Amino acid sequence: MDAPDTRALHEAVLAWYDVHARDLPWRGTSATPWSVMVSELMLQQTPVARVLPVHAAWLERWPTPASLAADTTGEAVRMWGRLGYPRRALRLHAAATAIVERHDGEVPAAYDDLIALPGVGDYTAAAIASFAFGRRHVVLDTNVRRVLARVVSGTEFPAQAVTRAERDVATALLPDDPATAATWAVATMELGALVCTARQPACDACPVAGLCVWRGTGYPAYDGPPRRGQAWAGTDRQCRGRIMALAREADSVGAAQVEATWPDAEQRERCLAALVTDGLLTQITPGRWALPG
């Protein structure tokens, strides 16, 4: 089956998005660039349902980059709550500080300025420029990559890391008009999140089912390298999460409290040391830790 016609693909996906787009606080004309930026950092490896209440609380407390930059990194980590990967809170605080120092407190619109901010990589810079400012950029998150892999390339899943060929496909499909390109980016992302999901794609509800190469060739099974799972129980991630939960709820935590929440001494000490190294905890006295001030 040949690759789908670009115009037909655009029309089908954009029409579907016009009807099925979720009403999310970081979308639409009322969303500030800062709201978009906060959402992009929070949504990395985290479902929308978990992000929504934290995003709302974050914007209520820190409605601008300057308001966050004026507060401590410890408070940023505390407000991050149970979203996971709390280093993202430190990155967002560092980015807010840089925005105040370099851009008069306003989130920059240019990709080059965005990617120069601490903790902002290619995807995040492209997403902010596209979703907040209507710029024309290739935005390749997991959902977009999966949609393009199936619909255009006929493979069930994309490679573990973005390839040059994959980026070339995405670039060739990007509409010329910047505003349309920005909508295309979020529409393909939404299609991957709601319909063309990883485990149970809803092909009967897909607007491009008739154009999809993967479907048209009989759904060939993925034959690439083993896909990494998201283990949790007993991992350092779980241990770190338990320790951070203690720290968020108190001014400081002692060794006895940490020991009670995680019995494996070697793993516990390793995770404590890593949290201090990452800047998520500060050792205030021997055997006592707190969020950074």
Please answer whether residues 41 and 91 qualify as being in contact, where contact means their C-beta atoms are separated by less than 8 angstroms: yes
Q: Is residue 261 in some structural domain?
A: yes
Please answer whether residues 152 and 140 qualify as being in contact, where contact means their C-beta atoms are separated by less than 8 angstroms: no
Task: Quickly state the pLDDT bin for 103 (edges 50, 70, 90).
Answer: very high
The confidence score (pLDDT) of residue 227 equals 63
Residues designated catalytic? 40
Asked whether the predicted pLDDT for residue 222 surpasses 90, the reply is no
Q: Is residue 83 in some structural domain?
A: no
The confidence score (pLDDT) of residue 292 equals 94
Residue 273 CB partners (closer than 8 Å, separation 6+): none
Of 182, 214, 169, the closest CA to residue 196 belongs to 214
Rounded Cα gap, residues 39 and 24, in angstroms: 10
> What digits encode the pLDDT tens for the residues 120-156?
999 999 999 999 999 999 999 999 999 999 999 999 9
Q: Is residue 285 in some structural domain?
A: yes
> What digits encode the pLDDT tens for the residues 21-72?
999 999 988 899 999 999 999 999 899 999 999 999 999 999 999 999 999 9
Q: Is residue 264 in some structural domain?
A: yes
The confidence score (pLDDT) of residue 178 equals 97
Q: Is residue 244 in some structural domain?
A: yes
Q: Is residue 274 in some structural domain?
A: yes
Rounded Cα gap, residues 154 and 143, in angstroms: 15
> What digits encode the pLDDT tens for the residues 168-211?
999 999 999 999 999 999 999 999 999 999 999 999 999 999 99
Sign of CA dihedral 267, 272, 273, 274: positive
Arithmetic mean of pLDDT, 81-104: 96
Q: Is residue 109 in some structural domain?
A: no
The confidence score (pLDDT) of residue 205 equals 96
Give the count of domains, the chain: 1
The confidence score (pLDDT) of residue 75 equals 96
Q: Is residue 94 in some structural domain?
A: no
Q: Which domain holds residue 259?
A: 236-290
Of 14, 22, 75, the closest CA to residue 48 belongs to 22
The confidence score (pLDDT) of residue 228 equals 65
29 versus 7: the higher-pLDDT residue is 7
The confidence score (pLDDT) of residue 22 equals 96
User: Is-above-0.75 flag for pTM?
Assistant: yes
The confidence score (pLDDT) of residue 3 equals 75
Asked whether the predicted pLDDT for residue 226 surpasses 90, the reply is no
Q: Beta strands of the chain (E only): which ranges?
A: 253-254, 282-285, 288-290
Q: State the chain's mean pLDDT as an integer.
A: 94
